[in-house]
Amino acid sequence: MTEIDVSKIKYNIKVVLPSGKIFELIGLCTSLSWEDQRGGIAGKANIIIANTKIEEGYISDLIKLCSLIFIYANNIEVFRGTVWDWEYTSAVKKELSITAYDRMIYAVQSKANSYFSSGKSTETIIKSICEEWGIPLNYRWKSWTHGKLPINNKSVSEHITSVLDEAETKLDSKYVALMEKDILTIKAKGENENIFVFNTHNVINTKDKLSLQKLVTKVIIVGKAEDDKKTPLISSVNGKIEYGILQEIVTKDTNKSLEDVKKEAENILKEKGKPEETIDVLSVDVPIIRKGDKINLNAGNLKGYFIVEGVSHNASKRTMNMELVRYE
């Protein structure tokens, strides 16, 4: 496991100018942050730059929409993206504010219709979607054999995540999907070998919240109703009913066996069958930490291994905020 020395971190930002020249922005940067959002698939960066005149012209004239942006920490690339939002303020500070996203933003903002016949694996379906949309793919996760999948009027990113989410309910594994140097990487959560240690020396604040709002303690399995008749009850699976009955319904159709539906019910209880815990940790920055990484934490009431569900790096303050779940 690895300790952190925040004093040794050196950040850098590079932009590809219209001439093709690569220009370093860190000396002009007044604010820098980037993040892997929880529940999102496109990485995001926010940068504020002083509108200085360089040899080629003013920064605001050189950095345009779709300009390529790279962020580094100790010469390691931690973000690569495209300028998506551009705003220049010509007040006293004369600042250029940009928001950049990695290339998955195109999949987030493009809608499509798809249909996949029954019997295809998760990996085969994801490869098909990525090939159609020109998304380089590194698939390192498990697969499930799916039933027929019509996906209509959804974003391309939702096509990808809906297939992965269905597989995750069937598999004994959690996935993370994120861009690594313009390649969509799909892998198991917590597979990182370099595990960083967080404790009272490098943690600034922790917050731990428990809630019963999304708890499920019982799942009933029903068949399809005939005409206007009541849907028939086939089976049920109980969870932590000591919290009371909080019920979910799973429908068995002709494409699913009873065994598959029971596994789906068990996975619902595995996912939602205990009080929801929300964990936020503010610490010194570790720029290479990404969503899906496993960390070791011993601060406040939080002890053990955790998975990063979302992370926001603030280079200006040399801090980061992590949204965590317990590693199981």
Q: What pLDDT score does 43 carry? A: 97
| Tens-digit pLDDT profile for residues 68-96 | 999 999 999 999 999 999 999 887 778 99
Beta-carbon-side half-sphere exposure of residue 303 (alpha carbons within 13 Å):
2
Paired sense of beta strands 137-139 and 183-188, if any: parallel
Q: Which residues contact 188 (CB under 8 A, 6 or more apart)?
A: 140, 141, 142, 173, 174, 175, 176
Reply yes or no on whether the pLDDT at 4 is more than 80.
no
What is the token pair recorded at 104?
Answer: 């998955």
| Tens-digit pLDDT profile for residues 94-103 | 899 999 999 9
Per DSSP, 184 falls in state E
First and final C-alpha spacing in the chain: 18
Reply yes or no on whether the pLDDT at 132 is more than 70.
yes
What is the token pair recorded at 223?
Answer: 């068949």
Q: What is the mean pLDDT of residues 35-58?
A: 94
| Tens-digit pLDDT profile for residues 154-191 | 999 999 999 999 999 888 899 999 999 999 999 999 99
Q: What pLDDT score does 231 carry? A: 83
What residues are paired with 220 via a beta bridge?
A: 236, 249
Q: What pLDDT score does 198 carry? A: 94
Q: Which of 80, 73, 104, 85 is nearest to 5 (CA)?
A: 73
Q: Is pTM beyond 0.85 here?
A: yes
Q: Which domains does the chain have, with CATH numbers?
A: 6-103 (2.30.300.10), 107-188 (3.55.50.10), 197-211+276-326 (2.40.30.150), 218-264 (no CATH)
